[in-house]
Structure 1
Amino acid sequence: MKDLEPSLKQEVITLCNKALEAQEEERFHASNRDLYKVFELLPEPKKDWKAYIWLISNIADNHFEQEEYQQGLTHLNTVFELDEEASQNAYLCLRRGQCALELGEETLANELLTQAFKLEGKELFEDEHSKYLKFIKQAAE
């Protein structure tokens, strides 16, 4: 993965910080607006840049929070295709599994939510709707 040239990198960092602030304030549309600006700034091929995986992961998270599950799943599928370590990231497994479940893709949801649980345990699910933990418990029976 390549790193951005210093002036572009600073602009990207500024926009990312602004997006994260909006995310913390639960202003997910505003956050994605800034993240998509960063996306546009990345030179082609976009997937070659260090910022790309982080960027689309955060865009996916915002889509999930806005109940835009298909967009979230599409972005997370890209993350899993491009980053071989994604399946070892409990949070990414959780979000992708949640999107899959919301879209009725129960086999994928079970695989991912179970993986998230194995990686981080029940604590990962504490701030999430109880249906996700209930789903993997029922699937295991």
Structure 2
Amino acid sequence: MNSFPSELSKSVHAEITEYCISGDALAEQECYEEAVFQYNKAWEMIPEPKNEWEASTWVLAAIADACFFMGKRKSARQALEYAMYCPGGLGNPFLHLRLGQVLFDAGELDKAADELMRAYLGGGGEIFAQEDQRYFDFLVKKAKI
């Protein structure tokens, strides 16, 4: 049985949220390194074991997204793979999309196809709408959708 509280304290949750809001504002300005710095501050606020908290899922998603746009695919992959073990991670279309893209870029095409299909099944074709077309084209060809 889990001996940890089911929710973060209001003050910790508020602080995590503030760091993420700052990070999101920086990411929107394409200041990804600064955004990751803010997201990492949020990550540090999450108690151990970190994979027990929903906040971990969305903080890791933000870190992975910023790393993806910085071209730091290894860091993005690490964050995404860890997020899959956090509440709501497995089955999250966005996380599967980004992980599929990272795997595709790494040449791990079978794994990429699996993750991109999970994104497609969970989020439909529209999840690819703002992404580089090559990822959806690959999925269409690989999965014959």
**Is the shorter-chain TM-score for this pair beyond 0.5, marking a shared fold?**
yes
Q: Is 1:70–1:103's contact at 8 Å kept on the other side of the alignment? A: no
Residue in structure 2 matched with residue 101 of structure 1 by the alignment: 104
Q: Distance in 2 between matches of 1:51 and 1:118?
A: 24
Match for residue 41 of structure 2?
37
Tell me the number of residue pairs that the alignment of Structure 1 and Structure 2 aligns: 140
**Percent of residue pairs identical:** 27
Measured in 2, the distance between the counterparts of 1:6 and 1:82 equals 20
Q: Is this contact kept in 1: 2:53–2:86, CA < 8 A?
A: no
Separation in structure 1 between the aligned mates of residue 124 and residue 49 of structure 2, nearest angstrom: 37
Q: More helix per residue: 1 or 2?
A: 1
Provide Cα deviations, 1:41-96, integer angstroms capped at 9, x if missing partner: 2232222333111111111111111111111111111111334x434322111111
SS in structure 2 of the partner of residue 81 of structure 1: coil
Matches within 5 A, 1:64-75: 64-75=68-79
What CA distance in whole angstroms lies between the structure 1 residues aligned with 2:99 and 2:118?
11
State the partner residue of 2:22.
18
Is the deviation greater in 8-17 or in 50-59? 8-17
- Unaligned ranges ≥5, structure 2: none
Residue 2 of structure 1 contacts residue 50 of structure 1 at CA under 8 Å; is this kept in 2? no
The answer (yes or no) to whether the contact 1:63–1:71 under 8 Å persists in 2 is yes
Q: Deviations over 1:8-37 (max 9, x none)?
A: 332222212111111222211111100111
1:126 lines up with 2:129 in the alignment? yes
Q: TM-score, normalised by structure 1?
A: 0.87
Within the candidate set 43, 51, 55, 1:47 is matched to 51
Q: Distance in 1 between matches of 2:13 and 2:86?
A: 21
Q: 1:13 to 1:115 in 2, by over 3 A?
A: closer
Which TM-score applies when normalising by structure 2? 0.85
Compared CA separation, residues 5 and 100, structure 1 to 2 (3 A) = same
Uncovered stretches (5+) of structure 1, i.e. residues with no partner? none
Please say which of residues 58-67 and 117-126 is displaced more in the overlay.
Answer: 117-126
Cα RMSD between the aligned structures?
1.8
Change (3 A) 1:47 1:87: closer
